[in-house]
Amino acid sequence: MSKGTQKGFTILEMIMVVAIIALISIVSAPLGLQFYNGQTINGIQGQIGDSLTRARSQAVAQKNDSQFGVCVNITSGFTTSFVLYQGASGPACSTHNTPYDETYQVLSNTTITFPGSAAEINFAKHTGTPSVTGTTTISWNGLTRTVTVDSLGSVVEN
């Protein structure tokens, strides 16, 4: 090796590496965001499904000799939270036993719509029969998921 030879990368090689990294970032960023959004709405769907299933099982088990249900709190057209509650069905979840509430906050701009635009689904003690049957729709950030409750109270995340 001669005295004047230097080791290292040329400016062209450095530009190529930066360009490849930029290209990979441009392609993967939307995919990463899409994956994040999908996982987020799947999480909300899972929470709703789990809460409905727990409400039904507690009603069937006659925990505290009571009915159980899930209701949504809506502000400015969006769902701010939903509540797994103990007690009788009532308008906008106003008649339940609040010391036993389990409140779950949801992300802003989330919409949870129970079948028939009901504000809640209440399960009868002993039988677990729901007050409302059909499909609950969860919408967030342009994505939609559903949870279905049948006449027997079975909960299925679709």
* 18-71: pLDDT as tens digits: 999 999 999 999 999 999 999 999 999 999 999 999 999 999 998 888 889 998
**Digit-coded pLDDT (tens) for 74-95:** 888 888 888 899 887 666 566 6
* Domain residue limits, the chain: 12-157
Q: How far apart are CA 107 and CA 12, in angstroms?
A: 46
Alpha carbons within 13 A on the beta-carbon side of 141: 14
Closest by Cα among 89, 79, 80 to 113: 79
Determine the pLDDT at residue 121. 92
pTM: 0.80
Q: How far apart are CA 158 and CA 138, in angstroms?
A: 11
Q: Is 3.40.640.10 the CATH number for 12-157? A: no
